[in-house]
Amino acid sequence: MSVLNARIPEGPLAQKWTNYKDHQKLVNPANKRKLDVIIVGTGLAGASAAASLGEMGFNVKNFTIQDSPRRAHSIAAQGGINAAKNYPNDGDSVFRLFYDTIKGGDYRAREANVYRLAEVSNSIIDQCVAQGVPFAREYGGLLDNRSFGGAQVSRTFYAKGQTGQQLLLGAYQALMRQVNAGTVKMYTRTELVDIVIVDGKARGIIARDLVTGELQRHFGHAVVLATGGYGNAFFLSTNAMGSNGSAAVKAFHKGAFFANPCMAQIHPTCIPVHGEFQSKLTLMSESLRNDGRIWVPAKKEDAEAIRAGKLKPTQIAEEDRDYYLERRYPAFGNLVPRDVASRAAKERCDAGYGVGTGLAVYLDFKSSIERLGKNVIEARYGNLFQMYEKIVDENPYETPMMIYPAIHYTMGGIWVDYELQTTIPGLFAAGEANFSDHGANRLGASALMQGLADGYFVLPYTIQNYLADDIRTPRMSTEEKEFVEAEKAVKSRFEKLMSIKGNRSVDSLHKELGLVMWDFVGMGRNKKGLQHAIERIAEIKKEFWSNVRIPGDIKGMNIELEKANRLADFIEIGDLMARDALNREESCGGHFREEYQTGEGEALRQDDKFAFVSCWQYKGDDAEPVLHKENLVYESVKMVQRNYK
Amino acid sequence: MEKTINLTLKIWRQNGPKEKGRFETYKVNNISTDSSFLEMMDILNEQLINENKEPVAFDHDCREGICGMCSLYINGRPHGPDDDVTTCQLHMRKFKDGETVTIEPWRAAAFPVIKDLIVDRNAFDKIIAAGGYVSVSTGGVPDANAIPISKIDADESMDSASCIGCGACVAACKNSSAMLFVSAKVSQLALLPQGRVEAKRRAKAMVAKMDELGFGGCTNTGACEVECPKNISITNIARLNREYLKARFAE
């Protein structure tokens, strides 16, 4: 019997969430005021949870490392949010959204969670419209939809190319309304640095004020981590510079299991790397694949001439272009899921057909502009085209965009049960920080859906169910020994970092880690490479702890110290990702082991051996983590080879 | 093709809100014109760290022009010499070899300096908390398509909603007025039936909070609109004035 219990409610799939809500425990209004909930993070999941729990009457403390909750990286999501509304009357339903998400995730997600996600998706759209989110509309005044990868229906709601911004601002405004009402207290420029466990339950956090450098102790009857993903382990990613996996590592160290760490999404349409000074990669929304066609030259000599600057893409005749996604996947064409599109781009570039630096393919709008007119394309994607032009200095209305895959999202994360509770009682994880809904690959426009589903419509129920047993627990003094000891440990870690006084900057070490990750734990992985990566990461860890240089003082604002603290955790995550990828001897979704592919180069799952969630348990700094398995049982769908042809 | 330039940087350094600040001069060489302005700052900081000096503190995060975190007053302009971009999207191809570039924080009484080029923009959150929302709680709302909204209104609302809260409008204004920021939120919500219900209360509450926090008044110079990286129009200010007057007359 596994130590893991996903606590999935009884009953048929479509009834599980209703059954749960009908039988969960409630907390009366007078008691809610006496219960403190700490929420770390203010992205879609964190802000929506904080606002909702505040509205219900709980006493919420909400933390962000940014200067304002509105800066969280959810803001950068471009394309849209899925929901099973079926407004376009194209045959969508809750079951279809559920099915597409399970299939898109290559059958490595938990059925019950994904069904619930699809079920609450419609309420999210209703909620956001009521908040004043200005979604795109048709001339009749009703909401417009667009298509995204991995689906044959149009179920994606959007607000220009700024959907994440508008949804986050909606949640942020709901949150600020609660700040004004006094139910939520906001802590900005404050970072979680440890989780406090009392009698086996999460009871608070140690936080660091990033302006003064001072450590703070905070008590909470429950703690929610909504701290996003860990894609920045790769240094170059589409994540914001400050996005980090430290909260997840703290939870891991305190006993929470880390699930599927190797499941990272490589997004197919990002602006390619252009130099070693590069600090981040910019995403071009997947929505562009609605109207853009992806191609490379069909002839190697044309590709070579383009790379040498002797030919322009517009000079390549139609018959000399290889629209490789349309060729390989006629049913889905340019709208295949992200993992499939990314690997196909890598395959063409590795074969010598890449453009630009050789690591780029074209995304071309010529035929759409001819068909729909420049105005329509501008209305749909104007801000993305402008962003591209500012960065690359080329006009995508006239010449095709150059794109290449980049790390974008992490499906893996802290293991949670059906209630979004980790293996530590009272510690919950929401949004990208947990592992739950996307399996081995996330479909486009599903991250926004999941973040808001967790925050608006799941946690408010499940946290209440947990806290109902806690109404007799008085607020704890932060002078208790567990808080004092946790703070002491954090203090010594920061002092240790400052005392190294070595010769390498944090960024130089982070870039070194990133290259190892990209080369060996990236789009194509194999046994030898992963073993090499684990060795290299151990060397980088040693180098970091003996040779990092952090100027300045432990007191006051010290950005290098913040970065060093996060990099130490990224190194651990990198190791965990490589270990998990090595262990998972199959290809599924974003995890592609070169040893396991079909004759046509498609991912080959090993369902008999690997239809489980890998859950890693921390065993100490010098010990190897231990693997536990949550077996995935599919009752409503049949596991089949994904086919987008 | 890649080109590189050498620059002299005059950068504002300040240890804390109450400390006295000063300009320091630095040189950076061989900066690729394809790199972004903040990547140039990264290179400077790497240089300073290697010299065992403290790097320059500046705010930044998404580096794709949407989070509103980056600021910087570059050669006398918020977000620098390019139009319609934030500092993180500004590229070095906009600068000439040998040029001296002056980099300062936002200057406004309501945005005190925290360190070097980082300022405290918490005042914007306080203005939103005062009323920049529709008062609906989670759950119990009508179907999303229950109220049709004309595409024209929805699009105009979206344009106002594009504000990223960076504060360039305040930094650009000689009065340090926050009118463009406030009016963008008031307009976005006033244009939609969902926000119409509370329009009067919202306009009054947000303006009162803005005045209380020490932002100046609007004298219609239009500098905010010119410097706004997201092209927020000053017609929003006209709408705010209308909403505000309506609210006062209704008293």
pLDDT of res. A382 = 87
Give the gap in angstroms from C-alpha A591 to the nearest C-alpha of chain B. Answer: 26
Looking only at the bridges linking them, the beta strands covering A201-209 and A190-198 are: antiparallel
Inter-residue contact A189 to B148 (CB < 8 Å): no
pLDDT of res. A642 = 84
Residues contacting residue A485 through CB under 8 Å, at least 6 positions apart: none
pLDDT tens string A132-173: 999 999 999 999 999 888 888 999 999 988 999 999 999 999
pLDDT of res. A622 = 87
Residue of B nearest to A556 (CA): B16
Least confident piece of the model among A274-283, A486-495, A514-523, A578-587: A274-283
Looking only at the bridges linking them, the beta strands covering A401-410 and B118-119 are: unpaired
Give the pLDDT mean for B69-96: 96
Residue of A nearest to B83 (CA): A390
One domain for residues B92 and B147: no
Q: Is the pLDDT of residue A182 over 90?
A: yes
Q: What is the dihedral of CA A171, A172, A173, A179, to 10 degrees?
A: 120
Average pLDDT over chain B, rounded to whole?
A: 96
Inter-residue contact A336 to A325 (CB < 8 Å): yes
Given B86, B114, B142, the domain boundary residue is B114
A174/B133 Cβ within 8 A: yes
B121/A68 Cβ within 8 A: yes
A275/B188 Cβ within 8 A: no
Which of A 229-248 lie inside 8 A of B, CB atoms? 240-242
Q: Tell me if ipTM is over 0.85.
A: yes
One domain for residues B102 and B139: no
What is the C-alpha separation between A514 and A519, in angstroms, rounded?
Answer: 9
Give the gap in angstroms from C-alpha B45 to the nearest C-alpha of chain A. Answer: 10
Per residue in A111-144, is it b (16+ CB within 10 Å) or e — as a string? bbbbbbbbbbbbbbbbbbbbbbbbbbbeeeebbb
A127/B141 Cβ within 8 A: yes
One domain for residues B71 and B160: no
Inter-residue contact B129 to A176 (CB < 8 Å): yes
Give the pLDDT mean for A444-451: 96
Q: What are phi and psi of B27, to 5 degrees?
A: -115, 135
Query: Long-range contacts for A631-640 (Cβ within 8 Å, ≥24 apart)?
Result: A631/A2, A632/A107, A632/A108, A632/A109, A632/A110, A632/A111, A633/A111, A634/A102, A634/A107, A634/A111, A635/A13, A635/A111, A636/A13, A636/A111, A636/A115, A637/A99, A637/A102, A637/A103, A637/A107, A637/A111, A639/A107, A639/A605, A639/A607, A639/A611
Average pLDDT over chain A, rounded to whole?
A: 96
Looking only at the bridges linking them, the beta strands covering A36-40 and A222-225 are: parallel
Residue of B nearest to A53 (CA): B138
Give the gap in angstroms from C-alpha A146 to the nearest C-alpha of chain B. Answer: 16
Looking only at the bridges linking them, the beta strands covering A427-429 and A222-225 are: parallel
A532 occurs within a structural domain: no
User: Per the structure block, which two tokens stand in for A387?
Assistant: 């962003």
One domain for residues B87 and B127: no
What is the C-alpha separation between B117 and B104, in angstroms, rounded?
Answer: 6
A390/B91 Cβ within 8 A: yes
A559/B35 Cβ within 8 A: no
Number of structural domains found in chain A = 1
CATH label of the domain that carries residue B54? 3.10.20.30
One domain for residues B59 and B133: no
A591 occurs within a structural domain: no
One domain for residues B155 and B174: yes
Size of interface A-B (CB pairs under 8 A): 219
Give the pLDDT mean for B68-79: 97
Q: Which domain holds residue B237?
A: 121-249
Q: Is the pLDDT of residue B150 over 50?
A: yes
One domain for residues B241 and B132: yes
End-to-end CA distance of chain A: 40
Q: Which chain A positions have a beta carbon within 8 Å of B48's beta carbon?
A: 551
B43/A390 Cβ within 8 A: no
Q: Pick from A177, A457, A552: which is nearest to B133 by CB? A: A177
Give the pLDDT mean for B247-251: 88
One domain for residues B76 and B125: no
Residues contacting residue A514 through CB under 8 Å, at least 6 positions apart: A233, A234, A235, A236
Question: Residue B78: enclosing H or E segment and its boundaries?
Answer: strand B77-78
pLDDT of res. A3 = 74
Given B90, B114, B138, the domain boundary residue is B114
What is the C-alpha separation between A253 and A258, in angstroms, rounded?
Answer: 10
Q: Is the pLDDT of residue A1 over 50?
A: no
Q: Which chain A positions have a beta carbon within 8 Å of B148's beta carbon?
A: 140-142
Inter-residue contact A383 to A413 (CB < 8 Å): no
Which of A 131-170 lie inside 8 A of B, CB atoms? 131-132, 134-143, 159-160, 162, 164-166, 169
Active site residue A338: yes
A352 occurs within a structural domain: yes
What is the C-alpha separation between A41 and A482, in angstroms, rounded?
Answer: 23
Q: Is the pLDDT of residue A316 over 50?
A: yes
- Which of A403, A510, A418 is CA-nearest to residue A458? A418
A509 occurs within a structural domain: no
User: Per the structure block, which two tokens stand in for A531?
Assistant: 């073993």
Task: Please give the order of strands across the beta sheet that includes A59-63.
Answer: A184-187, A59-63, A36-40, A222-225, A427-429
Q: State the sign of the Cα–Cα–Cα–Cα dihedral A375, A376, A382, A385.
A: negative
Helices marked H in A132-245 — which ranges? 163-181
One domain for residues B11 and B127: no
What is the C-alpha separation between A94 and A636, in angstroms, rounded?
Answer: 13
Other CB atoms within 10 A of residue A357 CB:
14
Strand, coil or helix: what is A515?
helix
Question: One of A116, A146, A293, A338 is an active-site residue; which one?
Answer: A338
Put residue A393 in one of left, alpha, beta given phi > 0 → left and psi -120 to 50 → alpha.
left
Q: Pick from A70, A242, A391: which is nearest to B89 by CB? A: A391
pLDDT tens string A477-499: 999 999 999 999 999 999 999 99
User: Per the structure block, which two tokens stand in for B91?
Assistant: 């590229």
B61/A241 Cβ within 8 A: yes
CATH label of the domain that carries residue A347? 3.90.700.10
One domain for residues B154 and B236: yes
* Share of residues in chain A with pLDDT > 90 (%): 93
- Which of A62, A69, A36 is CA-nearest to residue A173? A69
- Which of A84, A71, A152 is CA-nearest to residue A121? A84
Give the pLDDT mean for A25-30: 96
Number of structural domains found in chain B = 2
Given B74, B91, B114, the domain boundary residue is B114
Residue A2's pLDDT band (cuts 50, 70, 90): low
A143/B132 Cβ within 8 A: no
Inter-residue contact A537 to A544 (CB < 8 Å): no
Residue of A nearest to B150 (CA): A141
Give the pLDDT mean for A422-445: 96
A126/B142 Cβ within 8 A: yes
Residue A248's pLDDT band (cuts 50, 70, 90): very high
Q: Is the pLDDT of residue B1 over 80?
A: no
User: Per the structure block, which two tokens stand in for B16?
Assistant: 């804390």
At residue A8, what is the residue type?
I
B164/A393 Cβ within 8 A: no
Q: Which residue has the tokens 């293996």?
A: A423
One domain for residues B151 and B74: no
List residues bridging with B102 in a β-sheet.
B10
List residues bridging with A615 in a β-sheet.
A259, A628
A71 touches chain B (CB under 8 A): yes
A567 occurs within a structural domain: no
Residues contacting residue A375 through CB under 8 Å, at least 6 positions apart: none
User: Per the structure block, which two tokens stand in for A175?
Assistant: 């949150």
pLDDT of res. A590 = 94
A346 occurs within a structural domain: yes
Residue of B nearest to A452 (CA): B138
Residues contacting residue A197 through CB under 8 Å, at least 6 positions apart: A203, A254, A255, A424, A482
Q: Is the pLDDT of residue A366 over 90?
A: yes
Residue A274's pLDDT band (cuts 50, 70, 90): confident
pLDDT tens string A547-602: 999 999 999 999 999 999 999 999 999 999 999 999 999 999 999 999 999 988 88
Which of A 298-337 lie inside 8 A of B, CB atoms? 309
Helices marked H in A318-361 — which ranges? 324-328, 338-350
A85 touches chain B (CB under 8 A): yes
A324 occurs within a structural domain: yes
A139/B151 Cβ within 8 A: yes
Give the gap in angstroms from C-alpha B4 to the nearest C-alpha of chain A. Answer: 12
Inter-residue contact A436 to A416 (CB < 8 Å): yes
A281 occurs within a structural domain: yes
Query: Long-range contacts for B48-56 (Cβ within 8 Å, ≥24 apart)?
Result: B48/A551, B49/A505, B49/A549, B49/A551, B49/A560, B50/A505, B52/A549, B52/A551, B53/A551, B54/A551, B54/A552, B55/A551, B55/A559, B55/A560, B56/B11, B56/B13, B56/B116, B56/B117
Q: Pick from A131, A139, A186: which is nearest to B134 by CB? A: A131
CATH label of the domain that carries residue B195? 1.10.1060.10
Q: Which domain holds residue A378?
A: 267-408
Other CB atoms within 10 A of residue A581 CB:
27
pLDDT tens string A104-115: 999 999 999 999
Q: Which chain A positions have a beta carbon within 8 Å of B29's beta carbon?
A: none
Helices marked H in A351-444 — which ranges? 366-372, 374-392
